[in-house]
Amino acid sequence: VPAPQAAALRTRSLNAARTALSFDENEPRALMSLLMQKQVFGHWAAIEAECRRILGPTRRHPMVLGWLGNVLQNVGRWSDSVPVFE
């Protein structure tokens, strides 16, 4: 995506997430939309913690599980990612 369009898409994404959260503060897709805007490099532990918080006790949201599993694999925690993808 060209840079000018990327900036506009990011703004739309942030606005949509904030709107969704105004209806339901625990909406996992909106929370993940905000989380995915953050840089993973150097912040993977905080990203992991937030993914686990978003998942809560149910632990079954595909978007969150996919992102969490990818983050764990990207930092070399392959064995920790296995239960996430099961």
Average predicted confidence (pLDDT) for the chain: 92
User: Could you tell me if 61 and 54 are in contact, meaning their C-beta atoms sit under 8 angstroms apart?
Assistant: yes
- Band of residue 29 on the pLDDT scale cut at 50, 70, 90: very high
pTM equals: 0.84
Percent of the chain with pLDDT over 90: 79
d(CA 57, CA 52) in angstroms, rounded, equals 9
Contact 47, 40 (CB under 8 A): yes
Residue 63 and residue 84: Cα distance in Å, rounded? Answer: 11
Cα end-to-end span (Å), the chain: 33
Cα–Cα distance, 20 to 26 (Å, whole number): 9
